[in-house]
Amino acid sequence: MITLIFALIIITVVTVFSVQNAIPVVISFVFWKFEASLAIILFLSVLAGVVIGVIGASLFRMKLSKKKQTSIDHENAHSF
């Protein structure tokens, strides 16, 4: 529940900040250059951060779960 409230607060802050900064900006990366609204850039940046965070957390949990399962299997093998 706390996580949901925290996520809603972050979404609200990012939304308000994005709407107040809706000016067009030029994005340059190596040979790639385009112009877009700062609000869109901010939204996409936050979205990318959330996706990367969720993937990282999922991989960490899977690794931890696999390590825990290996430890349990190892203990069961020695108990017989």
- 77 vs 43, residue with greater confidence: 43
Cβ(38)–Cβ(21) below 8 Å: yes
Interacting residues of 26 by C-beta distance below 8 A, sequence separation 6+: 33, 34, 35
Average pLDDT over residues 39-53: 87
pLDDT value of position 34:
87
Identify the three-state secondary structure at position 30. coil
Over 90: is that where the pLDDT of 65 sits?
A: no
Task: Report the pLDDT averaged over residues 28-33.
Answer: 89
Q: How many CA atoms lie within 13 A of 59 on its CB side?
A: 6
Q: What gap in Å lies between CA 10 and CA 43, rounded to an integer?
A: 12
Per domain, the residue ranges of the chain are: 40-80
pLDDT surpasses 90 at 52:
yes
